[in-house]
Amino acid sequence: MYLPIHDYTYNLPAEKIALYPLEKRDESKLLVYQNGEIRHSTFLSLTDFLPKNAFLFFNDTKVIPARLHFKKQTGADIEIFLLSPVKPSPLVIEAMEARKSVTWKCTIGNMKRWTDGMVLEKTIHSGVLQATMTSREEGLVQFQWNTDQPFAEIINLSGETPLPPYLNRPAETDDRERYQTIYSHHEGAVAAPTAGLHFTDTIFQSLQKRNIEYDYLTLHVSAGTFQPVKVENATEHVMHREQVVVNRRNLENLMKPNRSIVAVGTTSMRTLESLYWFGVKLLHDPEAPFVINQQEAYKHAQHSVPAAEEALQAVASYMDNHQIEMLTGETSIYIMPGYSFKICKGLVTNFHQPGSTLMLLVAAFVGNEWRKIYQEALTQHYRFLSYGDSSLLLP
């Protein structure tokens, strides 16, 4: 399959990129695309446009201060950016609770100044945090500290908010709160699920007043979400892998009839669609691991895949058989034009970078209409990217 990435680019002037969020989250603009028509509103009016049988899924991951700076005695700055845990566990929830020592895969800025065997140090309150590079090729860094705090507390004391690279500015104190959804709970993301940044208590009260139900699942967003597609044939792009956590309640809510599932953000959508493909794997192999690779959805002829109910029931049976209430897995699912959505009927999302995997996902969801939607947003002076305005897509 040949998918030219230049077909999914557009001109994004620098002045359209929101460098800072609005003072009030829910006063952002909202572009509503439904049945081929575009309307304009504000996010405060979101519930006016949701289908009556809508059921929303939010990603409750919490952004960690993943950017750490260490100073050498010479004054050289070494930046270490946390990507994914390796030891004592690859599971984010366990790595964040680890004490005394952890090893993470990282990207390292100014690596040439960090010689093998050199231990970097920084003082954190009453303790000291040390960093040792254990594999230059793999970017593995071991962190050790001499207090009894879990790693989550250590980085909260010593790290910086990992703003997206396209903002091209240092993180500020206010970013620690604003680059976080108000419902964030499970620490582990190195980028925010930005569609959720617009939600406030007022919006949740509006959902409840209208009896619009919702639920939370977890996908720990990785830095790979900002990785550009550098190959002309987009199908050859190597997708990043992200850790997902879903529970019994998620499945029960998905399996109730006559519901129109609306994903809040591309990360929620990727999680829900990955859950479907896990069910497909289980129907072929009842002990298949919850690992969804980027080509999983394209291995099967679309007419031969099971209905969503059958796939989700397979996941429920797997949980019954193993007597578990929670599933942890990994997904590299690649949603691009040609993908057939199995779970999601609607999407709340911001406006994404040209030629990105997120742009491909939107194009897969709304088809060639994405061009009309994005041109309208540019013409109407919407604010783009992570701190920008929002859209509700109901194709």
DSSP β-ladder status, 291-292 and 326-331: parallel
Say if residue 345 is in the same domain as residue 254. yes
Q: What is the mean pLDDT of residues 1-14?
A: 95
Confidence of residue 300 (pLDDT cuts 50, 70, 90): confident
**Please, which residues bridge with residue 120 across strands?**
131
Sign of CA dihedral 184, 84, 92, 118: negative
Query: Is 203 part of a structural domain of the chain?
Result: yes
Residue 167 domain flag: no
Mean pLDDT of 187-215: 97
Using pLDDT thresholds of 50, 70 and 90, give the confidence band for residue 272.
Answer: very high
Do 225 and 367 lie in one domain? The reply is: yes
Name the pLDDT band for 84 (thresholds 50, 70, 90). Answer: very high
Residue 268 pLDDT > 90: yes
Buried b (16+ CB within 10 A) or exposed e, 71-87: eeeeeeebebbbbbbbe
Confidence (pLDDT) at 126: 80
Query: Average per-residue pLDDT in the chain?
Result: 95
- pLDDT, one tens digit per residue, over 138-170 is 999 999 999 999 999 999 999 999 999 899 999
Tokens of 46: 């979101």
| Domain co-membership, 77 together with 57 | no
pLDDT tens digits along 352-392: 999 999 999 999 999 999 999 999 999 999 999 999 999 99
Residues 71, 58, single domain; the answer is no
Q: What is the DSSP letter of 355?
A: T
Looking at 130, 159, 188, the residue that finishes a domain is 159
pLDDT band at 304; cut points 50, 70, 90: confident
Check: CB of residue 50 under 8 Å from CB of residue 262: yes
Question: Do both 52 and 191 map to the same domain?
Answer: yes
- Is there a single domain that holds both residue 90 and residue 221? no
Question: For position 186, which CATH number holds?
Answer: 3.40.1780.10
What is the Cα Rg of the chain in Å?
21
User: How many domains does the chain divide into?
Assistant: 2
Identify which of 185, 114, 187, 99 has the alpha carbon closest to the alpha carbon of residue 145.
99
Residue 151 lies in a domain: yes
| Model pTM above 0.85 | yes
What CA–CA distance (Å, rounded) separates 241 from 96? 19
Strand extents, DSSP E, 114-229: 119-124, 127-135, 140-145, 186-189, 213-220
Quick one: pLDDT band at residue 87, thresholds 50, 70, 90?
very high
What separation in angstroms does the CA of 373 have from each of 2, 28, 60, 92, 294?
Answer: 24, 17, 28, 36, 27
Domain for residue 165, yes or no? no
Residue 301 confidence (pLDDT) above 80: no
Cα–Cα distance, 352 to 354 (Å, whole number):
6
- Under DSSP, is residue 340 helix (H, G, I), strand (E, B) or coil? coil
Contact 393, 350 (CB under 8 A): no
Q: Verify that 354 and 247 share a domain, yes or no.
A: yes
9 and 149 part of one domain: no
Assess whether 76 and 208 both reside in one domain.
Answer: no
Domain-located, residue 168: no
The answer to the question of residue 171 being in a domain is: no
Task: List the one residue out of 264, 247, 285 whose CA is nearest residue 30.
Answer: 264
Determine what percent of the chain is predicted with pLDDT higher than 70.
99
Residue 335: count of CB within 10 angstroms of its CB: 24
- State the residue for tokens 């829900």: 272
Do 54 and 81 share a structural domain? no
Across the range 34-40, mean pLDDT stands at 96
For residue 254, being part of any structural domain is answered with: yes
Q: In the predicted model, what is the mean pLDDT of residues 54-60?
A: 98
Based on the domain organization, do 302 and 372 belong to the same domain?
yes
User: What pLDDT score was predicted for residue 224?
Assistant: 84
Q: Looking at residues 126-134, what average pLDDT do you find?
A: 93
- Which residue has tokens 């700055």? 77
- State mean pLDDT over 18-47: 97
Instruction: Please report whether residue 25 resides in a domain.
Output: yes
Q: Which of 129, 159, 189 is the last residue before a domain boundary?
A: 159
Residue 52: what pLDDT?
A: 87
Do strands 127-135 and 119-124 pair parallel, antiparallel, or not at all (unpaired)?
antiparallel
Domain end marker among 159, 190, 206:
159
Q: Are residues 11 and 57 in the same domain?
A: yes
Cβ–Cβ < 8 Å for 244, 218:
yes
Domain limits for position 271? 5-63+178-394
The tens digit of pLDDT for each residue in 233-264 reads: 999 999 999 999 999 999 999 999 999 999 99
Task: Quote the pLDDT of residue 299.
Answer: 86
